[in-house]
Structure 1
Amino acid sequence: MTEKQQNEGVGFALRKISLDQFAVLKEAYQEGEKVHYDVSLDFGLNTELKMFRVSSRISFAQLPPQPFLLIEGSAEFAIEPDAWERFILEGESAVVFPHGFVAHLAALTVGSLRGMLYIKTQDTIFNRFLIPTINVAEIVGEDIRFDFAVPGESV
C-alpha cells in the first residue's frame, strides 16, 4: 500500500456493538488492595459483507491476578467498497488495514465498552472502576494483515 493510499480518508460505518461477556467476581475483590487492568484487542473480517470486527477484553484484577471485573465486547464496521479494494494487496491473497485506521476503530470499540461498563456497574461499589483513556495505537502497533486461502492451495 502506498503512502497516498494510507493517507486517504476511509469511509466506514458502525453497524453493530455487542456486549459479549460481563462478569463481576465479588470474592476476588479485596477493598484497599492495589488494582490493575489489562486490555486486549482482536480483529476479524467478513469478506463477503466487507466488514471489519474489533473485539476488546478488559479486566480489572488484584494480586493474585484473578479478575474481579471483566468486560468483553465488539464492534462491527462496514468498510466502503472503494476503501476495501485499496486495502487488498495487488497480486496477493491478502488485505492490509493501516495501523492508524485500525487504531481509530479500536478506540471507538473501547469507548463503547467504557460506557457499557459504567452502566453495568451503576449503583454498585464497582462503578468506581472506569476504563481509563487508553492509547490503542500502542496496542495495535502495526498494520493488520489478513491472508486468504486460495482455492486449490493446500494450507
Structure 2
Amino acid sequence: MKDEPVFDFQQAIDALRERFEFDLVSIAFVQSATDQFVLTWQYASGNLNERYKRIVLHSGKGLAGIVFKTGKPVLIQNVAEELDPNDLFNYPIIAAEQLLSVGAVPLWKDSRVAGVLLAGYRQENRLTSSRLHEFQQEIEPSIGPFLTKELEEYDSIQ
C-alpha cells in the first residue's frame, strides 16, 4: 500500500487568503473520539497571535462547532450587529483575531464533517454571501482531500 502524499494545508490557506484578500483564514479539525470529538484550530494564515492554538470547541459551540454540528456554512457579515457583545466569549476565534465579518464552511471527508474552514475580515460587512459562495467554490480544488459537499444558503447565528 502506497502512502498518500502529505497535503500542505498551510500553503493552501495562505493562497486562499491572498486570492480573496482575507485578513484571516484558518482550519479547525475534529480530534479523535478519545478527545470527545473536540475541534481545534490547526492552521492559520494572517493571524494576529497564537491564541487560536489554545481554542478547544465542542460540537455546537463557537463558530466551528456550529458548522461542525449542522454541516452547513455560517456567515456573519457584521459581528457588531449580529452577535450580542456579551456572547462573544462563545466565539473565541472572532474575539482573539478581532474579526468583524466572518464566514465558516464545513470540510467533508467520507460523508462526514472532518473540519471547518473559516475566513474573515477585521472590517465589518466585507464578507458577503456572494463572496463566501465564490470562496466556497474555490475550496474544493484548493483544500486537497476535502470537499465542500454542497453550496447552499448560509445559516445565521441568530
Give the TM-score range, shorter chain: 0.3 to 0.5
Query: Over alpha carbons, which structure has the higher Rg?
Result: 1
| Greater strand proportion | 1
